[in-house]
A and B are shown apart, each in its own frame.
Chain A
Amino acid sequence: EPEVTQTPSHQVTQMGQEVILRCVPISNHLYFYWYRQILGQKVEFLVSFYNNEISEKSEIFDDQFSVERPDGSNFTLKIRSTKLEDSAMYFCASRPNRVNGELFFGEGSRLTVL
């Protein structure tokens, strides 16, 4: 069964460093998302991406964050200068079309900022 894959599974970084989290969405999907879950809290929407541009973003997704689909298969989330509060599980998700339906989530990338 096709699945969303994410790398790395765990990354430890120093505060102020840049981090890139990578995702390979399901191949025929058109809508892509990043969510995050700080330990013990809810799963929060960060950004959605369609047709090579951001379609919606949350207040969390400030200028320190960016997304890119550089080669038609990978979907990346970059955090330019990490802060302690960026420590969280980051989930990539994809959906085949805009019509209501479930999002398919990856296993997540745990980011630890020291």
Chain B
Amino acid sequence: DQQVKQNSPSLSVQEGRISILNCDYTNSMFDYFLWYKKYPAEGPTFLISISSIKDKNEDGRFTVFLNKSAKHLSLHIVPSQPGDSAVYFCAASGLGNKLVFGAGTILRVKS
């Protein structure tokens, strides 16, 4: 059951550049999407979210874009910082109240 897919297992970016993390979903009933950041041995930490009625949401260095017709969302981090190095999970929810997570993308920001 891969309703939420993150096809890039890892991404390496130079400090100061843009990081773009991608996520695709298959369930058209999803109407709310979130990005979580996770460090080893810690729980996921909420970063940013977007409702299906919007196509963009911005919070500081983080922007999430939603393309409903393509069932695709992306997280942009500008500028990337070494402290952004972590695993990033895309998650989605629909009629039920649970979140469905993708497999995660490891982001490494090199200084």
Contact = CB atoms under 8 A, between A and B. Distances in A.
Interface of A: 4, 31, 33, 35, 41-45, 48, 50, 55-56, 91, 93, 95, 98, 100-108, 110
B99 interface: yes
A42 B102 contact: yes
A35 to B, nearest CB: 8
A107 B102 contact: no
B38 to A, nearest CB: 8
Contact of B96 (A4, A42, A56, A110): A56
A45 B100 contact: yes
Contact of B46 (A41, A45, A98, A102): A102
B34 A56 contact: no
B25 interface: no
Given A91-B43, A107-B42, A108-B43, A56 B98 contact: yes
Contacts of B100: 45
- Sort A-B residue pairs by CB-CB distance and give the 8 closest, nearest first: A105-B43, A100-B32, A102-B46, A43-B101, A42-B103, A45-B98, A105-B44, A107-B43
A50 B108 CA distance: 38
Contacts of B102: 42
A102 B51 CA distance: 12
A95 B97 contact: yes
Contact of A91 (B44, B51, B97, B104): B44
B49 to A, nearest CB: 6
Given A42-B103, A42-B104, A48 B97 contact: yes
B41 interface: yes
B43 A106 contact: yes
B46 A108 contact: no
A33 B101 contact: no
Contacts of A108: 41-43
Interface in B20-39: 31-32, 34, 36
Given A100-B31, A102-B49, A43 B44 contact: yes
